[in-house]
Structure 1
């Protein structure tokens, strides 16, 4: 028996092939596949890699800013930092004036992971840029940042 035809109207969802959320998930999985292989060799998680990258780029960072820049929720970051501290990848210290505020720093061991995998990570990033071309790559990144910022702004208004 043939499938019933789809009725299109203003309240119909786009097909999954045209859905922004589904397209983003598919793109994320495709983008992350080679990165996951690299991280498996490094023995760290995606989240740990992001934390190390942010700390390597920015130096000592307070936990709130680190969570924001590494795209992690604060409760998740607390767990991740504890594990990374136990592994010797990061260190943390309390602010002398506000004991609730913590600063996180990358250790030599954490930086060694970045340094060891820098060439491979750069090759992966260059591969994505090659697929899209410089202009489309930069446009895509800018559009995704614009979308995220717009959705963040909207959620703060409600």
Structure 2
């Protein structure tokens, strides 16, 4: 019969050959997002809502599956997020004429205006990050991230902590 370790017992330590890349990427993500959260919060948007609106503004209407893949949001989460965004008047979900099982998500005129209002503040944060890190490091970082994604291939269904 096994017993649970007591709180005073020290867990066994394990030595890994590599640094924890997923954790470092998450910690970096948090450092970057901390710059943008106040802007989004001031406009009543969540990070996921912003990712979706920005994507739709850059690409035009998409299906929920496409949005989830590009925004790293799981299918179960996507359904709820889009329902809330529709209730808030941020997006419209319409059935495709040629296939009633499929939906197309389009930003509303009011969300397009909202994105236009937010864009200068978002760009200002990018400018501040570039000033702090240097243009060369930012360019190298973006190119490196693009290359890592290209070499590792498309991600599987996003996990909840990717949202």
TM-score under structure 2 length normalisation: 0.78
Q: Specify every segment of 5 or more residues in structure 2 that has no aligned partner in the other structure, as ranges.
A: 1-12, 158-163
Q: Output the CA distance in 2 between the equivalents of 1:96 and 1:155.
A: 29
* Aligned position for 2:143: 142
* Aligned position for 1:46: 47
Alpha-carbon spacing, 1:155–1:43, altered in 2? closer, same or farther (3 Å): closer
CA deviation after TM superposition for structure 1 residue 36, in Å: 0.8
Q: Output the CA distance in 2 between the equivalents of 1:70 and 1:154.
A: 11
More helix as a share of residues: 1
CA deviation after TM superposition for structure 1 residue 58, in Å: 1.2
Aligned residues: 145
TM-score under structure 1 length normalisation: 0.80
1:58-77 alignment runs, 5 A limit = 58-77=59-78
RMSD over equivalenced CA pairs, Å: 2.4
Alpha-carbon spacing, 1:45–1:66, altered in 2? closer, same or farther (3 Å): same
* Aligned position for 1:125: 126
1:60-112 deviations in Å (ceiling 9; x for gaps): 11222222222212221111110000110000111112122110000011112
Q: Output the CA distance in 2 between the equivalents of 1:49 and 1:61.
A: 15
Q: Output the CA distance in 1 between the equivalents of 2:16 and 2:114.
A: 44
CA deviation after TM superposition for structure 1 residue 130, in Å: 2.2
Q: Output the CA distance in 2 between the equivalents of 1:154 and 1:28.
A: 17
Q: Output the CA distance in 2 between the equivalents of 1:86 and 1:155.
A: 29
Q: Specify every segment of 5 or more residues in structure 1 that has no aligned partner in the other structure, as ranges.
A: 1-6
* Aligned position for 1:112: 113
